[in-house]
Amino acid sequence: MRLVKFLAHGGVASRRRAEEIIAKGVVTVGGEVVTDPARDVGEGDDVRVNGAPVGVEAREVWVVNKPAGVVSTAREPGSRPAVVELVRTNARLYPVGRLDADSTGLLLLTNDGELANQLTHPRYEVPKTYRVRLRAPLADRDLERLRRGVELEDGPTAPAQARRLGEREIEVVLREGRNRQVRRMLEAIGNEVTALRRIAFGPLALGELKEGEARRLSEDEVAHLRKAAD
């Protein structure tokens, strides 16, 4: 198994983040610093990150209904709570993508780096569904602009599914995951998001999970997530 995949399976980080960790020179195999993410390692090898041993954990995937004010990181250096603190497990979990601190709703946590990569990589186009409250009513022409794609400072967005739920409420489905994308799209067409809640990630819906609560996904639910990313 390649070193980057070993770290991901060990719950250290996603594969992309594991590559960054390896490049920093803080990973050792058998006491030797390794900076090649393609280095082959096995379960019997002594792999460490910053001196801490890494082993392959049992795979866990959790869904959290993230409250506002909770940050989507594995650890938060400041005073705000981190989303991993909402889950009771000994596994080293990290978020699959992010929701900004002001946003709420469905966030996945896992120690399965391969699954995390599949669910967040743009080429897999796994849909994410949001309920959005707006500062001002949205004109039909602006709703159509969201559907066609909006020009942002980092390039045009892909077409989105968008439908009206009320005078100042819409539902938006995205298949890409740029930073604060929904908020930026609405700003680009002259509106403003006052509340943002993710209600689905691929086939997984938030359902009746209460704000601040978490539950571990069943094997069938995880299988459906994998299928959505195929």
| Catalytic residue ranges | 100
- Which residues lie closer than 8 Å to 189 by C-beta, 6 or more apart? 142, 145, 146, 150
Q: Are strands 27-29 and 47-49 parallel, antiparallel or unpaired?
A: antiparallel
175 burial class (0-12, 13-18, 19+ CB within 10 angstroms)? middle
Q: Are strands 193-201 and 151-152 parallel, antiparallel or unpaired?
A: unpaired
- Assess contact for 174 and 130: CB atoms under 8 A: yes
